[in-house]
């Protein structure tokens, strides 16, 4: 029982770290995109769309994994 609890705690810390990291990277990317826009007058539209699609997809998959794990624990 303790072993399972330790694994769950590690997974929660890991997922919280991933979410925090993605939010920080999105903020840094947005700041960099604004800087590029101010310097050149053009925005990297395709790169911006691809970046946010990638990070949104990562968060979506992480959410699905957490939801599936939660469902398995409730059934036990």
Q: What angle do CA 12, 18, 22 make, to 5 degrees?
A: 150
**pTM of the entire predicted model:** 0.69
For the chain, how many structural domains are there in total?
Answer: 1
Lowest mean pLDDT among 1-10, 17-26, 41-50, 60-69: 1-10
Domain coverage including residue 37: 2-75
pLDDT tens track for 6-40: 666 666 677 888 899 999 999 999 999 999 999 99
Give the span between the Cα atoms of 14 and 19, in whole angstroms: 9
- Strands (DSSP E) found in 1-76: none
Look at the chain and count its residues. 76
pLDDT more than 70, % of the chain: 75
Structure confidence at residue 76 as a pLDDT band (50, 70, 90)? very low
């Amino acid at each position: 029982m303790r072993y399972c609890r330790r694994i769950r705690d590690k997974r929660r810390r890991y997922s919280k770290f991933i979410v925090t990291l993605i939010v920080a990277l999105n903020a840094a990317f947005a700041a960099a995109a604004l800087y590029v826009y101010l310097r050149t007058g053009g925005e990297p539209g395709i790169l911006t769309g691809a970046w946010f699609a990638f990070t949104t997809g990562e968060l979506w998959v992480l959410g699905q994994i957490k939801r599936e794990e939660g469902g398995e624990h409730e059934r036990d």
